[in-house]
Amino acid sequence: MRVIAGTRRGIPLKSITGTDTRPTSDKVKEALFSKIGPFFDGGVAVELFGGSGSLTLEALSRGSDSAWIFEKNSKACTVIKENAEKCKFSEELRIVRGDARTAASKLSKEGIVANLLFLDPPYAKEEFYNLAEQFVEQGLLADDGIIVCEHEKQLTLPTAYGAFESVGTTVYGGSAITIYKK
């Protein structure tokens, strides 16, 4: 696993061992970013269920100004911090050790509006995809924002979260990526 493109291209990333997290493969990450836009001109990336932080670090490498990652697993938080330091993104990245269900409330208090929202919860927890609805309802997504949900290919997600409509689902092996835009 590595940063695919941008200013930190090629930097290898760590992930925690075991089944607590499920890192997005380089192939899927590369395909995802080619769909949502290969490079960004600023903005804030938010990742719920951060794992190794690879999606957010990729967004930072490709031009996001800052990012927030929410992850409750302490070992994963340590790996995210190490990966951020290796990529020299410690200043741009805020890691919140805690439940992703508190993310919308926390970001609202901070006045943060996301341009990219990544949701990749444990596959057995379908209800966590509804966290996207909280972001939409609370106005925490920019008008040009993008919601990216990684999920089991058998799971059918809603066609929209408020004004953010699905622009398609792509299957990669046992996983799928569904993208939403306004």
Q: Could you say which DSSP state residue 12 is in?
A: B
- CA–CA distances in Å: residue 138 to residues 12, 25, 28, 94, 151: 36, 31, 30, 21, 24
| pLDDT tens, residue by residue, 89-108 | 999 999 999 999 999 999 99
Task: Tell me how far apart the alpha carbons of residues 131 and 134 are, in angstroms, rounded to a whole number.
Answer: 5
Q: What is the dihedral of CA 23, 117, 79, 52, to 10 degrees?
A: 10
Q: Which of 21-25, 93-97, 120-124, 132-136 has the lowest mean pLDDT?
A: 21-25
Q: Would you say residue 19 has pLDDT above 60?
A: no
Task: Tell me how far apart the alpha carbons of residues 116 and 29 are, in angstroms, rounded to a whole number.
Answer: 14
pTM: 0.93
Which helix (H) or strand (E) element contains residue 50?
Answer: none
In the chain the domains, ranked by start, together with CATH numbers, are 26-181 (3.40.50.150)
What's the mean per-residue pLDDT of the chain? 91
Q: Which residue has the higher pLDDT, 180 or 24?
A: 180
